[in-house]
C-alpha cells in the first residue's frame, strides 16, 4: 500500500501486472516503474526478462552494496542474472523484438487513451527527444501493458479520451495499472477491472479523463499472498 494509506505502491502495481505473465513468456520491461516487475516471485514459472541493451534472462534488481557495475538493464539499474541468462549484441536484442518473440512489454506512459492508444516518449511542451525502442516494442510485442501513476503531479488525468501529446502507438494497450486500480481496454472502451485498497469508484472516475466502464461489482486488486 502507498504511503498515503490507500492505493497501490509502485511495487504492488508491478506485482499485479506480473501475475498476468505466463510460464515460458519472454517479457520486456520499460524504463521506470515497469522495471519493478522483475522483483516478483514467479515460483516455478520460467519468465525470461529481455532488455534492449542485450541482457536476456535477468532477475530481480540488485540489493544495495551488491551491484555488479557492468551489469545493468535498459534503464541503467543494476540487476542479477538467472542461470539461463545471456548477454547479446544490441542489434540481436532488437532482432528478438522485431521477430515478434516478445510475449509482453510493460511500459510507462504519460497518457493512455480509452481506445488503447498510448504516449510515452514526449511530454507536453518538451522540445527534441526521440521515440526510441518503445516504437518497436509497441509494434511487435504480442501484448502491451502500461504501469503509471493515475495523475500527473499537477493533478491532470493520465487516462484520457484521446492523447494530447504525440502517440507512441495506436490501439495496442491491453492492460493498465495505476495506483488506483487495474484497467482493461475492451472493444467497448476502458473498463475498471479491479480497484485499489481504500479507494472508491467515485474517486477513480473523478480522477479519470475518459468514460469508464464500471461493472456492478468491482473486486479489489489482487495482492501477493
For cell 522485431, name the residue: 98
Q: Distances from the Cα of 170 to the Cαs of 107, 138, 156, in angstroms?
A: 14, 9, 21
**Joined grid coordinates for residue 195:** 480497484
DSSP 127-168: -S---TTHHHHHHH-SEEEEE--SB-TTS-BSEESS-SS--S
**Catalytic site residue from 12, 20, 22, 52:** 52
Known catalytic membership, residue 20: no
Residue 8 to residue 12: CA distance in whole angstroms: 6
**Joined grid coordinates for residue 34:** 515497469
Query: What are residue 25's DSSP bridge partners?
Result: none
Cβ–Cβ under 8 Å, residues 145 and 177: yes
Nearest to 8 by CA among 143, 106, 114, 147: 147
**Joined grid coordinates for residue 163:** 492523447
For cell 499537477, name the residue: 154
Task: Kindly list the catalytic residues.
Answer: 52
Amino acid at each position: 500500500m502507498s504511503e498515503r494509506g490507500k492505493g497501490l505502491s509502485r511495487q504492488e502495481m508491478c506485482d499485479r501486472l506480473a501475475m498476468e505473465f505466463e510460464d515460458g513468456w519472454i517479457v520486456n520491461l520499460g524504463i521506470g516503474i515497469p522495471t519493478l516487475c522483475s522483483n516478483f516471485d514467479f515460483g516455478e514459472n520460467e519468465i525470461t526478462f529481455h532488455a534492449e541493451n542485450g541482457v536476456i534472462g535477468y532477475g530481480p534488481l540488485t540489493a544495495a552494496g551488491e551491484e555488479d557495475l557492468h551489469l545493468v538493464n535498459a534503464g541503467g539499474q543494476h540487476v542479477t542474472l538467472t542461470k539461463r541468462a545471456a548477454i547479446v549484441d544490441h542489434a540481436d536484442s532488437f532482432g528478438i523484438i522485431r521477430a515478434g518473440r516478445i510475449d509482453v512489454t510493460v511500459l510507462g506512459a504519460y497518457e493512455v487513451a480509452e481506445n488503447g492508444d498510448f504516449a510515452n516518449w514526449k511530454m507536453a511542451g518538451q522540445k527534441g527527444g526521440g521515440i526510441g525502442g518503445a516504437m518497436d516494442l509497441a509494434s511487435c510485442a504480442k501484448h502491451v501493458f502500461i504501469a503509471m501513476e493515475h495523475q500527473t503531479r499537477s493533478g491532470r488525468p493520465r487516462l484520457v479520451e484521446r492523447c494530447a501529446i504525440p502517440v507512441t502507438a495506436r490501439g495496442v494497450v491491453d492492460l493498465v495499472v495505476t495506483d488506483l486500480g487495474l484497467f482493461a481496454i475492451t472493444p467497448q472502451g476502458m473498463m475498471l477491472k479491479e480497484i485499489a485498497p481504500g479507494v472508491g469508484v467515485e474517486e477513480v472516475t473523478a480522477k479519470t479523463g475518459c468514460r469508464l466502464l464500471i461493472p456492478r461489482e468491482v473486486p479489489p486488486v489482487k495482492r501477493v499472498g
